[in-house]
Every structure is written in structure tokens, then in C-alpha cells.
Amino acid sequence: MRKPIERRGVMMKPSTLAIFLVLALVLACTPLSCAKQSQVEPEFTLTLTCESATTSTEGKVAQKLADLIEEHTQGRVKVEVFPAGMLYTSATEWEALTTGGVDVVVTYLYYLTRQLPFLMVTWTEGPWEGPDHANRFYKSPEMAQKMTESLEPLNVRHLALTAGTQRSAYWTDVRELKSRRDFEGLRCAIRAGSAVSAPLVWAKVEPVEVPAAEISMSMQNKVVELVSMDVPTGVAQEWYDFAKHVYVTRAAALGLFVGMNLDTWDSLPADIQEIIANEVLPELQTYAEEEGKRMEDASVEELRGKVETINFETAEQMIAMWEEIKDYPETGVAIKMAGPELMQLIDGLRPSKD
């Protein structure tokens, strides 16, 4: 007769052992334990920095990028997000990106104008008819190619341009603003160290330099009478308590840059690079466009019941202004830096030319 198997001092018959093993297998494969076993340990863990909080468009785009990469690579790549300048600020993030101190950066195009002067045109009001125009620009293959060619010598892989702030606004407590012509004579806050933009020169404002941290207080204390601030930020900071008239502009291409350290990119397998390029980034661009619009629309609706007047700049008004200011010296620098090829691309993407 076959001898019973001994296990930890307990004598079991073969039939009893078989039943025990079946039960052990069933218990081992409960939904929770099986889910844990099926989780993929990340092959790569990347760090991402952005200066804004997670509630901002920039912060939301950063977190969405991390989520999409992990989702589309089925957990093979994990992205750790450090928002609100926890890791680097706008003053230090570029060096960190180029040297490998961080793997991924999400930041406003404005902060790249020193490295890429042709991007000055994205922050120039006038060439842009509105959010639709800017979003076409972000997604254009020609712009993606220009960014790639410009950034790779700097050890940066261009990933995408996405929507950021889609509309700006001017706030005042003096009078209703139906067009930029109504800005004339108002004391307008200009961030200390910044040049007066061509649209403000055209509108004949009285510029007053104010440190960025003091702009809200300067408005409340009537040091200035006109301030530019995007609607979501103005609503969040309750500007409607001291500025009862709002003029929402078409803004410029106030978009976001998403880039990766080139060495990090080159270290990723080809299939992961393909997933990021062909699946993650198009979805990210769509998300940024839709979420940015949703946030701004919600802020505008909240604002309607809290101010006396709110008016919106039309594409026709922006086009008419651009025809007058495009030869201004203040505009000429940005146009010169952009070059004729880029200006031709921007002009060709105008919705009014459809």
C-alpha cells in the first residue's frame, strides 16, 4: 500500500491531499489575488514636472499624459507627476529637461521663447483668430516637424503642442468694454519688466508697470483700471468683487509644450515610442482642447451672474486689428523671429480662409 504523504507533521491520504490542492488553487485565484497577479510591474518609471497646480489646464494635461501612457502601455511605463513646481519651476525646468534631471516637462510655450525665439509669435495677439485657429496650429505636421528639428540638437524630444489658455479677458470697474477701442485712456497694468504689446499701443491705454504678485491688489486699490487675466483665474480669485465689466478676447496661441529628454526617449523600446506617438499624444491633444474649453465655458457661465457686463471679441474684430498693428514695431520683432515660412503657415490655417 502507498504510504501517506507527510506535510508539516500532518499525515494526509493521497485523496485528501488532492482535495486540499484544489481548494488552495481556488482560494489563490480570488478576484483580488488574481488581479494583483495580473498587474504588470513597470519596466520604466519616468518623472514629469509642471509648474501649475493639478486644477489648472497645465496640471490636468500633465496628469492626463501620465494616465494615458500608463493605460496605453498596459502598465509597462509609469509616469510620476510632480505638479505646482514641486520638482522644478519654470526658471529651472528647461535645464533639468536637457540634462536629464527630469524626463518629461509640460509647460507654457512662453517659457520656451528664449530657446526658440520663433515661438514669440504664439504669444502675440493679432495673428490669431481664436482657439480654433490656435488648435489647428498645435496639431499641424509642419509645426511638429519644426519643433522636432529645433529641439533635438538641444537634447529634447518634441512630443506635442496642446491647447492651454484658450481665451483671455480684460477686467475693469470703470465702464463697459464692447471693443478694445474702449480701453483708451485707462490705466492698464503691465507686468514689471514687460514691453507694452502692440494691441495695447493700438488701444491707446496708459501703461502702468506693476509686479505680477501685486496686480490684483493694484486693481482693488485703483492704482490701475484695466488688467488682463484669463477668466478661470479671475473667477477663482473673485475678481468680480472689484471689476464689474469684462471683455473676453480671442487671445493668442497660449498653448502648452510637452517634451521629453532625448536620452530618455531613445532608451524606450520602439513599440513604446510608437504607442506614445500614435495613440497617447493625439488623445492628449483632444483632451486638452476639450477640457480647456469646458473649464473656460464653466467660468464664463459662473461670471455672468456676478458682473454687470461681459462682452466677447469677434474674429472680425481681431482680423481688423491685426491689419492695423502687423506693421507696428512691437509686432515686428515677433514676426521677424517667426520668419516668413512660419507666418505663412499661421496665415494658411486661418478658419476664415476655409
Residues 57 and 164 sit within 8 Å (Cβ to Cβ): yes
pLDDT in tens, 313-351: 998 999 899 999 999 998 999 999 999 999 999 999 999
Check whether residue 240 and residue 330 sit in a common domain: yes
pLDDT in tens, 154-164: 999 999 999 99
Check whether residue 108 and residue 152 sit in a common domain: yes
> What integer is the mean pLDDT of 176-200?
93
Dist CA 323 CA 327 (whole Å) = 8
pLDDT band, very low/low/confident/very high, at 4 (cuts 50, 70, 90): very low
User: Is 59 in a helix, a strand, or coil?
Assistant: helix
Give the cell for residue 229: 487675466
Give the cell for residue 71: 493605460
Task: Examine the pLDDT at 273 and tell me if it is beyond 90.
Answer: yes
Tell me if 126 is assigned to some domain: yes
- The count of structural domains within the chain is 2
What DSSP state is assigned to residue 42? P
Query: Please, what is the average pLDDT of the chain?
Result: 88
Check whether residue 126 and residue 225 sit in a common domain: no
Check whether residue 323 and residue 236 sit in a common domain: yes
Residues 134 and 167 sit within 8 Å (Cβ to Cβ): no
Tell me if 157 is assigned to some domain: yes
Task: Examine the pLDDT at 38 and tell me if it is beyond 70.
Answer: no
User: Is 238 in a helix, a strand, or coil?
Assistant: coil
CA atoms within 13 A on the CB side of 256: 31
pLDDT in tens, 227-254: 999 898 899 899 999 999 999 998 788 8
Dist CA 324 CA 35 (whole Å) = 63
Predicted pLDDT of residue 192: 82
Check whether residue 129 and residue 223 sit in a common domain: no
Task: Examine the pLDDT at 32 and tell me if it is beyond 80.
Answer: no
Instruction: Please compute Rg for the chain using Cα positions.
Output: 27
What DSSP state is assigned to residue 226? B
- 206-210 vs 187-191, strand pairing mode: parallel
Tell me if 26 is assigned to some domain: no
pLDDT: is 206 or 52 the higher one? 206
User: Is 205 in a helix, a strand, or coil?
Assistant: coil
The CA angle 132-125-50, to the nearest 5 degrees, is: 75
Check whether residue 206 and residue 60 sit in a common domain: no
Dist CA 108 CA 117 (whole Å) = 14
Predicted pLDDT of residue 72: 98
The Cβ of residue 280 has, within 10 Å, a number of other Cβ atoms equal to: 24
Tell me if 118 is assigned to some domain: yes
Dist CA 101 CA 306 (whole Å) = 45
pLDDT: is 9 or 290 the higher one? 290
pLDDT in tens, 110-121: 899 999 999 999
What CATH number is given to the structural domain containing 43?
3.40.190.170
Widest CA span in the chain: 109
Tell me if 13 is assigned to some domain: no
Tell me if 224 is assigned to some domain: yes
Check whether residue 151 and residue 221 sit in a common domain: no
Check whether residue 49 and residue 139 sit in a common domain: yes
Check whether residue 133 and residue 261 sit in a common domain: yes
Check whether residue 76 and residue 150 sit in a common domain: yes
Dist CA 80 CA 51 (whole Å) = 14
* Distance between first and last Cα of the chain: 91
Residues 6+ apart with CB under 8 A from 182: 175, 176, 247
Check whether residue 174 and residue 107 sit in a common domain: no
User: Is 308 in a helix, a strand, or coil?
Assistant: coil
pLDDT in tens, 124-133: 988 999 899 9
pLDDT band, very low/low/confident/very high, at 39 (cuts 50, 70, 90): low
Check whether residue 79 and residue 138 sit in a common domain: yes
Question: Residue 60 belongs to what domain range?
Answer: 39-164+252-302
